[in-house]
Amino acid sequence: MKVLVATEKPFAKVAVDGIRKEIEGAGYELALLEKYTDKQQLFDAVKDANAVIIRSDIIDKEVLDAAKELKIVVRAGAGYDNVDLEAATAHGVCVMNTPGQNSNAVAELAFGMMVMAVRNFYDGKSGTELKGKKLGIHAYGNVGRNVARIAKGFGMDIYAYDAYCPKEAMEADGVKPVDSAEELYATCNVVSLHIPATAETKNSINYALVNRMPKNGLLVNTARKEVINETELIKLMEDRPDLKYVTDIMPVANEEFAAKFPGRYFSTPKKMGAQTAEANINAGIAAARQIVGFLKDGCEKFRVNKK
Ligand code: 3PG
């Protein structure tokens, strides 16, 4: 059995060493394809792989067509919008993610970006503090819960909206649930996005929603670029010179944002939320163990596509 790690954005070496230990310890072979620049390299690498570990790497019908021996793809991370689930099901391939394994890393980066933004990107001018400010957590999953935990240490007043999470779970964490996204944005000085990119959420962060934020509002995106209606956010930031936007997922319109909103906009050059040794180890080794469990015992815990 051959397990391929295909990561355009590589894991830390220590995580690859851990993955190798799990895979070779189970008697399988490990192959590595890192920093590839061309889809053909991925086609060539998957053709005899029985299992693949990926990050944000695109697994579409073409890749699945090329992967004749493939039984399982594990997305070492949370969001699996980069995998064509229907095509995987049609090819008889099981798709899993590793929920929660990189959540703390993403949550910590959200705070790194928040502090940077409220301190005016360290330009020397007087900024503001997070203590006492209202933080809105948009979606209360694994990352949202870590954001809430860290926000308590900052002394923030914490609100959350998540249609799929029981309010009691938020209240148990000292978080105030609100009834709608509209209410969250209208209430909070800072909103941190943790929604996945789905048909329902794509383009949903739009002019009308963000315009509800109070004066000097800050929007923090460590989720996905697809959830932002970029055209409308640009228009809103033109109309509202008090608003700031910081993101870990470079917008399609990055150059326009950067040119139009100096001192109010920042994007990391490459998605960095989960790019820590700890998150790489947690998610990478979880992915390797899930593959071994699937190949040896047929365990399908964390499967995300239909059979
Ligand atoms: C995730 O969905 O787990 C995060 O967005 C991290 O993605 P990455 O592995 O591409 O950094």
Calculate mean pLDDT across residues 134-150: 98
Angle between helix 277-297 and 13-25 (nearest 10): 20
Written as one string, the DSSP assignment of 51-63 is EEEESS--B-HHH
Identity of residue 289: R
Atom in ligand 1 nearest the alpha carbon of residue 271: 11
- 257 exposure class (CB count in 10 Å sphere: 0-12, 13-18, 19+): buried
Q: What is the pLDDT of residue 178?
A: 98
Atom in ligand 1 nearest the alpha carbon of residue 56: 10
Measured in Å, residue 272 CA sits from the centre of ligand 1 at: 8
Q: How many CB atoms lie within 10 A of CB 164?
A: 7
Grouping H, G, I as helix, E, B as strand and the rest as coil, residue 201 is coil
Residue 264 CB less than 6 A away from ligand 1 = no
Residue 75 CB less than 6 A away from ligand 1 = no
Measured in Å, residue 238 CA sits from the centre of ligand 1 at: 30
Residue 271 CB less than 6 A away from ligand 1 = yes
Residue 56 CB less than 6 A away from ligand 1 = yes
Q: How many CB atoms lie within 10 A of CB 258?
A: 14
Residue 78 CB less than 6 A away from ligand 1 = yes
Mean pLDDT, the chain, integer: 98
Residue 187 CB less than 6 A away from ligand 1 = no
Calculate mean pLDDT across residues 26-49: 98
Q: What are phi and psi of 234, to 5 degrees?
A: -60, -45
Calculate mean pLDDT across residues 41-45: 98
Q: What is the pLDDT of residue 25?
A: 98
Measured in Å, residue 118 CA sits from the centre of ligand 1 at: 25
Q: What is the pLDDT of residue 251?
A: 98
Identity of residue 214: P
Q: What is the pLDDT of residue 72?
A: 98
Per-residue pLDDT tens digits for 60-78: 999 999 999 999 999 999 9
Measured in Å, residue 7 CA sits from the centre of ligand 1 at: 11
Q: How far apart are CA 31 and CA 52, in angstroms?
A: 9
Its sign, for the CA torsion 37, 38, 40, 46, is positive
Nearest to 76 by CA among 285, 278, 295, 305: 285
Residue 251 CB less than 6 A away from ligand 1 = no
Give the total residue count for the chain: 307
Question: How does residue 295 score in pLDDT terms, banded at 50, 70 and 90?
Answer: very high
Residue 54 CB less than 6 A away from ligand 1 = no
Question: How does residue 157 score in pLDDT terms, banded at 50, 70 and 90?
Answer: very high
Q: What is the pLDDT of residue 305?
A: 98
Q: What is the pLDDT of residue 7?
A: 98
Q: How far apart are CA 103 and CA 73, in angstroms?
A: 20
Question: How does residue 266 score in pLDDT terms, banded at 50, 70 and 90?
Answer: very high
Q: How far apart are CA 245 and CA 191, in angstroms?
A: 10
ipTM (interface predicted TM) = 0.98
Map out the domains of the chain with their CATH numbers: 2-101+275-297 (3.40.50.720), 103-267 (3.40.50.720)
- Residue to mutate (ligand 1; options 35, 106, 193; most atoms within 8 A of CB): 106
- Residue to mutate (ligand 1; options 55, 101, 194, 222; most atoms within 8 A of CB): 55
Strands (E), 153-271: 157-161, 176-177, 190-193, 218-221, 244-247, 265-267
Its sign, for the CA torsion 121, 126, 130, 133, is negative
